[in-house]
């Protein structure tokens, strides 16, 4: 089946994928644009894991000042090349995540960034709460782990629900951009300033 250049161009504009990838996806889906889009999405998400270990030395520092100038965020987002750092998709990702930090006030990027002594103190608090509620011993550890997971979702940026789409986490959003842009992307660090704190 012959695939027209116009259809390839349309799919490329929708997905940001390379021309040859778009052509291959259209050939696989026999010219069906929706199926080709799904094909590229599945292929991209499978390749995300391969990209995760690659070095990221380019990127940008994104700032966000909330209206009223009482709250601000600085965020470092890294990628592999300056070409990707200049794309609209990458810059929109950085803006969205800076706004997420302003709105949701995470403590860290990932759960591995939390101090283990701090986590142990939280676990002790949850165990005490479970005992105070009269939970049996065999239920306490499940209760504690459930509370800890909920805590991670509240304080770890990558595990928070995205404020613009609560059905996905920041990690999901990041993985989608990695798949679309074809490079590893790292949320390196951030700082959140609030007037009077």
- Same domain, yes or no, for 42 and 97? no
Please give the DSSP secondary-structure letter assigned to residue 158: G
Residue 145 has pLDDT above 90, yes or no: no
Residue 5: per-residue pLDDT? 77
Looking at the DSSP assignment, which residues form a beta bridge with residue 63? 74
Number of domains in the chain: 3
pTM exceeds cut of 0.95: no
> Domain range holding 46?
5-51
E strand segments, the chain: 58-65, 71-79, 161-162, 165-169, 186-194
pLDDT average, residue stretch 115-122: 88
Q: Which residue in 103, 108, 107 sits closest to 66, CA to CA?
A: 103
The backbone torsions φ and ψ at residue 2, rounded to the nearest 5 degrees and listed phi first, read -85, 130
Give the pLDDT confidence of 51-60 residue by residue, as tens digits: 555 667 889 9
103 with 65, same domain: the answer is: yes
| CATH code assigned at 141 | 1.10.286
Do 27 and 123 fall into the same domain?
no
72/160 same-domain check:
yes
pLDDT category at 25 given cuts 50, 70, 90 is: confident
Residues 105 and 161 in one domain: yes
62 burial (CB, 10 Å; 0-12 / 13-18 / 19+) is: buried
Mean pLDDT of the chain: 85
pLDDT of residue 46 exceeding 50: no
């Amino acid at each position: 089946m012959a695939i027209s250049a116009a259809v390839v161009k349309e799919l490329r504009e929708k997905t940001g994928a390379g021309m040859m990838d778009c052509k291959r996806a259209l050939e696989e889906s026999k010219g069906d644009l929706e199926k080709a889009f799904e094909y590229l999405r599945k292929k991209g998400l499978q390749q995300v894991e391969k990209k995760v270990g690659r070095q990221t030395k380019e990127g940008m520092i994104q700032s966000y000042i909330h209206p009223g100038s009482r709250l601000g965020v600085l965020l470092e987002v890294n990628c592999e090349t300056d070409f990707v750092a200049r794309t609209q998709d990458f810059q929109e990702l950085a803006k969205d995540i800076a706004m997420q930090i302003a709105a949701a006030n995470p403590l860290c990027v990932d759960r591995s960034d939390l101090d283990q002594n701090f986590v142990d103190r939280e676990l002790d608090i949850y165990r005490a709460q479970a005992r105070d509620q009269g939970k049996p011993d065999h239920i306490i550890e499940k209760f504690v782990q459930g509370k800890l997971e909920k805590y991670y979702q509240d304080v770890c940026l990558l595990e928070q629900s995205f404020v613009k789409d609560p059905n996905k986490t920041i990690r999901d959003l990041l993985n989608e951009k990695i798949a679309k842009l074809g490079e590893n992307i790292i949320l390196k660090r951030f700082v959140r300033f609030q007037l009077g704190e």
